[in-house]
Amino acid sequence: MGSSARRAAVVLLVAVVAAGACTGASQRRTASAESPSPAASVTATVSASPTSISSPTPTAAPAPTKPAPAPTKAAPAPAKPAPAPAKPAPKPAMSPPSAPIPVAASGLAGRVVAIDPGHNGQNYAHTAEINRLVDIGNGTKACDTTGTAARDGYTEAAYNLDVAQRLASLLTGAGARVVLTRTDNNGWGPCIDERAAIGNGAHADVAISIHADGSTTGRGFHVIYPVSLPGLTDAIAGPSQRLAVDIRDAYAAGTGMPYSNYIGRAALDQRGDLGGLNLSRVPKVFIETGNLHDNTDAALLEDPGFRQRAAQSLLAGLQAFLGGR
């Protein structure tokens, strides 16, 4: 074959080869478009790579976020305000009576006690009657006297009755039977011999006469008991002295009133000129519970609370005496 024929054959061969190559490439592109690659079906969020690679402008890393502040502690609940202090109860005008002593424990059940509140509220208006002389066993003496009074006018007669009634209430509550020589402050008398007779007639186990003194000097209390007078007080002098000691000790302890600093010895005084003692057939004492002419004593005797303590103390003294007989 000539050179021209060979060149024509070569050209024809190249054209055929080229046409086959193009046909294969076209077929491959068609297949690729219809059947996505396995990687593209894994997740819809994967994006294709960029067609051109360029150096992206560096962006600053976001500033780290500040950690959330620690939760603040809840403010403590405000403390509840302290309750307002209760208003003090008003003080009663008179002290309440003491709780009664159980009868079984009192030692007074069935005992008879004679209480003599000295003087009377109207004695001053009956001078002729109270000045009448009566027999006192070893002589004669006025039927009664008016008694004394504090500088403000508070009378011994009123005081004596108040304490006597308080004591009577306590004794009754403890099971004793009480006999009073007077029950009000509106009359005069009775005379001193009658007062002794009331205790004797009741067959009292013990008798006590309640008074307040009117000395111009000194203060304090004292207890008077009878001397031994043959045929009169010899049978009761010893028991009356023991009663005086029991009453003195209980009264001093229960009221705080000091011993008298103007009469007697250790708040005890022995006398033979008092008809109420001389004519008694039962153990008996007088108690001068304080001095109404002394301002300090008078302030105490006029206080209802003190008078209640006085009655309680006399009760304790009577219990001590009767329990030891």
Cite the active site residues.
Answer: 288
Helices marked H in 187-294: 192-201, 237-255, 275-278
Residue 266 Cα distances to 221, 254, 319, angstroms: 10, 17, 21
Determine what percent of the chain falls in helix, strand and coil, rounding each to the nearest 5.
40, 15, 45
Residue appearing with tokens 């111009």 = 216
3-state secondary structure of 125: helix
Residue appearing with tokens 């300090």 = 296
Beta-carbon neighbour count of residue 306 at 10 Å?
20
Asked if residue 278 lies in contact with residue 263, where contact means CB atoms within 8 angstroms, the answer is: no
What number of CA atoms fall less than 13 Å from residue 197's CA on the CB side?
9
Asked if residue 158 lies in contact with residue 217, where contact means CB atoms within 8 angstroms, the answer is: no
Asked if residue 272 lies in contact with residue 138, where contact means CB atoms within 8 angstroms, the answer is: yes
Residue appearing with tokens 């003090």 = 88
